[in-house]
Amino acid sequence: MSAAEAVLQGTGEPVLSVQRLVKRFGGLTAVNEVSLEVEHGEILGLVGPNGAGKSVLINLVAGIYPPSSGTIRLGGRDISRAPSYARARLGIGRTYQNIRLLRRMTVLENVLAAAREHALHPLRAAFARPGRSDVAGALALLDQVHLAEKADHLSGSLAYGEARRLEIVRALMGRPSLLLLDEPAAGMNEEETAELARTVRFCRSRVDAVVIVEHDMAFMQDLSDRMVVMDVGSKIAEGLPRAVLADRRVIEAYLGVEEEGDD
């Protein structure tokens, strides 16, 4: 049993629970008393205008920043002060706003570099050849996102949408329980966005839950089971996508004006 499976097995807890989370950078409060939960099997959309604190919240969950106060629990286990590498071993996988591939390595090598053996035993893995099961698993994941035919291509040669999908596959190779996707659709055209949506739906079968930060509201409305909306560091709405997007506070946050007819 992996560490991630051990954290979640039989707990009856949400995959992720964030309670009254605060992050201050000097005099700036980037995340202000935010609480949310992510349930098993759920795709949660985290949305809001620029500067809302969405990516800071993701970085708090991943362990890039320590919280100023509040708690973060993964499957009921308090990870609020755990370093980022420990959180990865416990089952948090992620992608970043800026694509971070090993551009001089092949597509397959990029995926194999993220195998759980590398995370748990990096020195041993550095001197060992990939096992057949790892190679087969990596190729199977690449096939699911239509990249298997480019397994031996350098990752730096991929088109933008392909590189984004490769990043997600690499995160999946570590067998996470929680997958965090930070603005994966940014800069994509319509065809690339549709392919990305298929990839994210595939992720649901491989992880316990997915959290997506994104600005493309049509993409998020179609993909998310629930949405959490942030503005100026605070949570202002939460619920089913259609209801959330009709919320007066959300409309005002995005448009910057009050609804017509309000005093």
CATH number of the domain enclosing 53:
3.40.50.300
Containing 90, the helix (H) or strand (E) segment is helix 84-90
Q: Name residue 243's beta-bridge partners.
A: none
Give start and end residues of each alpha helix (H) in 145-261.
160-173, 190-204, 217-223, 241-245, 248-255
* Residue that has been written with the tokens 């809001």 in this structure: 48
Calpha distance 178→253 (Å, rounded): 28
pLDDT for 195: 93
Burial label for 152, CB within 10 Å (0-12, 13-18, 19+), is exposed
Calpha distance 74→90 (Å, rounded): 8
Calpha distance 8→231 (Å, rounded): 31
pLDDT for 259: 45
Q: Write out residues in the chain with pLDDT < 70, as ranges.
A: 1-11, 116-132, 255-263
pLDDT for 7: 47
Residue 206 belongs to some domain of the structure: yes
Query: For residue 123, what are its two tokens?
Result: 């020195």
- Given a contact cutoff of 8 angstroms between Cβ atoms, the answer to whether 131 and 140 are in contact is no
Structural domain that includes position 56: 3-102+177-255
Calpha distance 205→41 (Å, rounded): 8
Residue 116 belongs to some domain of the structure: no
- Given a contact cutoff of 8 angstroms between Cβ atoms, the answer to whether 97 and 183 are in contact is yes
pLDDT for 118: 53
pLDDT for 102: 87
pLDDT for 217: 83
N-term to C-term CA, the chain: 59
Please choose, from the candidates 95, 169, 94, 116, the residue with its C-alpha nearest in 3D space to the C-alpha of residue 138: 169
Q: Name residue 106's beta-bridge partners.
A: 154
Residue 221 belongs to some domain of the structure: yes
Whole-structure pTM value = 0.85
pLDDT for 84: 94
Question: What value does the mean pLDDT of the chain take?
Answer: 87
Q: Chain centroid to CA 139: how far? A: 22
Query: For residue 234, what are its two tokens?
Result: 């605070």
Residue 262 belongs to some domain of the structure: no
DSSP 8-state class, residue 167: H
pLDDT for 146: 93
Residue 94 belongs to some domain of the structure: yes
Domains of the chain: total: 1
pLDDT for 253: 85
Residue 241 belongs to some domain of the structure: yes
Calpha distance 20→153 (Å, rounded): 45
pLDDT for 131: 62
pLDDT for 80: 97
Query: For residue 94, what are its two tokens?
Result: 């992620």
Handedness of CA 206, 210, 214, 216 (dihedral sign): positive
pLDDT for 2: 46
Residue 162 belongs to some domain of the structure: no
Strand pairing report for 69-74 and 77-78: antiparallel
pLDDT for 38: 97
Residue 194 belongs to some domain of the structure: yes
